[in-house]
């Protein structure tokens, strides 16, 4: 088991490095550079070529791409993503509050979505083929099929325009207290929960049905163990294991998947900060957000894999072999 864990950790570190190369390369191929935003057309007309080259050296744009990547990656692994091109503010300061806000929203969504999905998935799995399963499964397919921005727009129309109970847009600063931010974030929270609960509940339903059909459940029934105990002590924990990777990717994907929702509602999170950074050609900010999102996905997937190795003896023995 230790060998399998170390192998998985080493593979994750390699993937993080490859992701860093991909993130840096993707931003390198963007048309233009920071000077295209930092300098206006009037500035370019009155400045000498020597002055422009001096600015390129100041920004480090004159260095080879490999040298710039190594400099950026050596800082990124310790949380130093450089400074912004325009006002020389450390990137870590620019993204810190939006990062916390996105984590806050993602944490609230996770704490609500996973228990609901678990309850729906196990209930529909237990009553599979019956009327409750048919109704809930149909609603889940509909909820999963509708894009988040469509759900968000419908909720805004219903509860901010027709019935003005909640604000359509969030007008708070990025450094606002968490409680103040959550008070005005009900609509984006519900928007994300609807689609993700529908997806997770379908996965958990399949895992629960598979667990209920296993031999150990049949043996437990033949031994006279009460059905309630079989469901909650045996089948339900076993049904979660196949869905651990999906739940881990769901949690990690919230950081990246909230971009559209944050734009729709004006939520001051990392997604909104990413859109502003792209508009301003703040390459270092874009690189930092993309890298953090990718590392989070890799780390959550690693935790899910390690959990499966530890909890599932079949996988553990296979990895050992």
In this prediction, residue 320 has a pLDDT band, given cuts at 50, 70 and 90, of very low
The confidence score (pLDDT) of residue 18 equals 92
The confidence score (pLDDT) of residue 29 equals 64
Burial class (CB in 10 A: 0-12, 13-18, 19+), 236: buried
For domain 92-320, which architecture applies? Orthogonal Bundle (1.10)
Q: Where in the chain is the domain with CATH 1.10.3720.10?
A: 92-320
What average pLDDT does the chain have? 81
Cα–Cα dist 152/265, whole Å: 8
The confidence score (pLDDT) of residue 255 equals 65
Q: Euclidean distance between the first and final Cα of the chain, in Å?
A: 9
Query: What sign for the dihedral angle of Cα 167, 168, 173, 176?
Result: positive
The confidence score (pLDDT) of residue 14 equals 92
pLDDT digits (tens, 9 = 90+) for 7-57: 888 898 999 999 999 988 887 766 555 566 566 666 667 777 777 777 777
pLDDT digits (tens, 9 = 90+) for 95-108: 999 989 888 888 88
In this prediction, residue 223 has a pLDDT band, given cuts at 50, 70 and 90, of confident
Is the entire prediction scored with pTM above 0.85?
no
- Close Cβ partners of 313 (under 8 Å, ≥ 6 residues apart): none
């Amino acid at each position: 088991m230790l060998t399998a864990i170390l192998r998985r950790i080493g593979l994750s570190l390699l993937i993080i490095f490859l992701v860093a190369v991909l993130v840096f390369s993707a931003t390198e191929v963007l048309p233009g550079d920071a000077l295209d935003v930092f300098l206006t057309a009037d500035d370019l007309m009155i400045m000498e070529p020597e002055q422009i080259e001096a600015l390129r050296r100041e920004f480090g744009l004159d260095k080879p791409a490999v040298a710039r990547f190594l400099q950026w990656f050596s800082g990124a692994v310790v949380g130093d993503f450089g400074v912004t091109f325009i006002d020389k503010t450390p990137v870590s300061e620019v993204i810190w509050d939006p990062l916390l806000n996105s984590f806050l929203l993602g944490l609230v969504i996770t704490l609500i979505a996973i228990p609901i999905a678990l309850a729906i998935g196990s209930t529909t799995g237990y009553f599979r083929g019956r009327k409750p399963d048919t109704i809930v499964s149909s609603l889940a397919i509909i909820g999963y099929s509708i894009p988040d921005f469509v759900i968000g727009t419908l909720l805004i129309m219903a509860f901010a325009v027709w019935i003005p109970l909640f604000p359509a847009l969030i007008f708070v600063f990025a450094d606002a207290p968490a409680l103040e931010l959550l008070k005005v974030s009900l609509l984006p929270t519900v928007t994300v929960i609807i689609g993700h609960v529908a997806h997770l509940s379908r996965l958990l339903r399949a895992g629960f049905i598979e667990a209920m059909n296993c031999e150990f459940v049949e043996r437990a029934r033949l031994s006279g163990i009460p059905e309630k105990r079989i469901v909650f002590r045996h089948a339900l924990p076993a049904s979660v294991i196949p869905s651990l990777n999906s739940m881990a990717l769901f949690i990690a994907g919230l950081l990246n998947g909230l971009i559209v929702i944050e734009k729709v509602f004006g939520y001051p999170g990392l997604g909104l900060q990413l859109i502003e950074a792209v508009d301003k050609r703040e390459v270092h900010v874009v690189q930092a957000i993309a890298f953090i999102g990718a590392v989070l996905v890799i780390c959550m997937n690693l935790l899910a894999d390690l959990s499966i190795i530890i909890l599932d003896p079949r996988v553990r023995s296979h990895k050992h072999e």
